[in-house]
Amino acid sequence: MLENYILNGKRIMEEEFGFSPKKTKLEIYPEKEWMDFLRKKKFSKDIDGVFETFKLVAKIKRGKSLDSLPYLIHEYFGHGSFYEFSLLGKKLRDYEERILAGRKDLVDEYISLRSKMEWLYEGYAIWIEEFMLKKFNLSELWKKRKNELDENYLSYFEEIKNEEEKIGKLNLIYKIGFPRNFEKKFIIRAVEELLKKDFDKIKYLILYGSKKIYSDIDLLAVFGRNDCVYFNGIIDMLKLGTGSFKNLCKKLDLNVSNILLTGDVVIGDVENYLKILYKGVTEEAIRHAKTKSFSFFNNALYFYNLGVYELNKISIQSGNFHLTDLSNGENKNDLENINFSHSLNNLSFSLSYGICYKLYLKGIAPLTFKDVLNEDSGLISQIREAMKNRPTKNQTEYFLEQTKKFLSSIE
C-alpha cells in the first residue's frame, strides 16, 4: 500500500515543483526491528521516523494501515527533498562530510546552524506532510497528525504556512532555497502567485537573464499603464505599461532591446516590437542612451552617499544591523555594503548606456549587453566582479571616479 503512495508522491512533487527525491533511500522497519534500531542508536522509543542527513536515508517504523504514512512523507519526501536540493540542505550535508573527514573544528558551527534553522527544515517537512496528505485526499489523517504535533513543531509549520498564504506554494519552495524551474508552466505559475488577479492582464511576458537555478528569476511583463518593479526575493520582474514598452523600443533602450533579443517569450507575440528595433538609430535613441547613462551615474552617487551615511551611523552605534536570508541561515551584507553594491550596479548601467550611446553614433543597433561588453575596456567586468563580494567604500569611490572619467568623454 505504501509503495503506491511513494510513486504517486513522486509524481505529484515533480508536477508541482519540478523535483522529487532521487538519491534518498527509504528503509521501513517492522516494529520489533525498529525498537532494536532505536535502542542501538540510543534514540527515544517514541520516535517513528529518522533521517540520516549525510547518507540520505529515511528510516520509518511500519505502522498499522496508514499510520506510518505521515512519517514516511515527513522523512522521505520532506527531509529527502530538502537535503538533496535546497541550499541549506546541501550546506548542512557539506558540513557533515567535512566533519567526518576530520574537520572537528566545524562541529560547534554545524550544531549552531542546525539549531538556528531547525524551524525551516522541520517546518518544511511538516508542510510537505499537509500538502501531500491533502493531495492524497487524506485530510482527516492530516488533522490527526497536526493535533499530535508539539508546540515547537506546530509553530514551525505555521511559520511556513503563513508564508505560503502570502506568496504561494511555488514561490515558497523557491524562497526556502529550492532550485528554480524555468519551464514555461512553472514560470507562469510563479508569476500567477505573484500578481494574483492582475496576471490575466499580461500582454507579454519574457524570461531573460542568467537563468541560474538558485538565482532570481528575471522577467519583463507588459500590461496596463504604469511602470514598476516587482520583487519578492525570488522573482525580479520589470513591469512596463504597453505605451511605455513601445516607446522604449522606439528609443532602442538597451535594457529592453537586450531582453527582446536574448529572452524567451513566455506569453504573447513580440515580433512587431522586434521590427521596431531593426528600423535603425534615430536622434531620439542617441539622446535617450546619453541621458540614461548620466541618470544611472547620479543614482550611483545617491547610493554611495547612502552607504557612507549607514557606515557612519553603524560606527557610532554598538553592534551591526543585519538582514537575514531565509534560505541559508546566513546574514546578508550590512546596509552600507548593500548600498555600495547598488551604487556599483548603477555604475555598470551608466557605463553600458554610455557605450551604447557611442555605438549609436556609429549607427550600430540594436544592441544587447553582450555587444556592449565586447566594446568595454574592462571596467564593467571589474565592477561586476567587485559586486560578487562585499564592496567597500574605497572600491566604490574608485569606480565612481573611473566612470566619471568615462562620462567626461561623452559630455
Instruction: Tell me the pLDDT tens digit for each residue of 281-324.
Output: 999 999 999 999 999 999 999 999 998 887 665 444 433 333 23
Looking up cell 563580494 gives 389
Helix (H), strand (E) at residue 49? strand 49-52
Q: Are residues 19 and 167 in the same domain?
A: yes
Q: What is the DSSP letter of 42?
A: T
Q: Are residues 273 and 289 in the same domain?
A: no
Q: Are residues 197 and 225 in the same domain?
A: yes
CATH code at 236?
Answer: 3.30.460.10
Cα–Cα distances (Å) from 289 to 118, 133, 286, 308, in that order, read: 50, 55, 5, 29
Q: Are residues 61 and 140 in the same domain?
A: yes
Q: Are residues 312 and 353 in the same domain?
A: yes
For 179-323, strand residue ranges (E) read: 204-208, 217-222, 228-231, 235-240, 264-267
Q: Are residues 52 and 125 in the same domain?
A: yes
Q: How many domains does the chain have?
A: 3
Residue 153 and residue 271: Cα distance in Å, rounded? 52
Q: Are residues 268 and 385 in the same domain?
A: no
pLDDT recorded at residue 314: 47
Cα–Cα distances (Å) from 198 to 60, 165, 174, 191, 267, in that order, read: 45, 17, 21, 10, 14
Q: Are residues 116 and 21 in the same domain?
A: yes
Give me the amino acid identity at 350: S
In the listed set 243, 277, 311, which residue is the last one of a domain according to the structure? 277
Which residues, in sequence order, are bridge partners of residue 205?
A: 221, 267
Q: Are residues 264 and 339 in the same domain?
A: no
Q: Are residues 273 and 307 in the same domain?
A: no
pLDDT (tens digit, 9 = 90+) per residue, 24-69? 999 999 999 999 999 999 999 889 999 999 999 999 999 888 999 9
Residue 208: strand, helix, or coil: strand
Q: Are strands 228-231 and 235-240 parallel, antiparallel or unpaired?
A: antiparallel
pLDDT recorded at residue 63: 85
In the listed set 213, 244, 277, which residue is the last one of a domain according to the structure? 277
pLDDT tens digits, the chain, 411 residues: what are they? 789 999 999 999 999 999 999 999 999 999 999 999 999 999 998 899 999 999 999 999 998 889 999 999 999 999 999 999 999 999 999 999 999 999 999 999 999 999 999 999 999 999 999 999 999 999 999 999 999 999 999 999 999 999 999 999 999 999 999 999 999 999 999 999 999 999 999 999 999 999 999 999 999 999 999 999 998 889 999 999 999 999 999 999 999 999 999 999 999 999 999 999 999 999 999 999 999 999 999 999 999 999 888 766 544 443 333 323 455 554 444 555 789 999 999 999 999 999 999 999 999 999 999 999 999 999 999 999 999 888 999 999 999 999 999 999 998
Give me the amino acid identity at 316: I
In the listed set 244, 277, 310, which residue is the last one of a domain according to the structure? 277
Q: What is the DSSP letter of 200?
A: G
Q: Are residues 151 and 220 in the same domain?
A: no
Per the structure, the complete domain to which residue 226 belongs is given by 184-277
Name residues whose C-beta falls within 8 Å of residue 338's C-beta, 6 or more positions apart in sequence. 307, 323, 332
Q: Are residues 116 and 246 in the same domain?
A: no
Which residues, in sequence order, are bridge partners of residue 398?
A: none
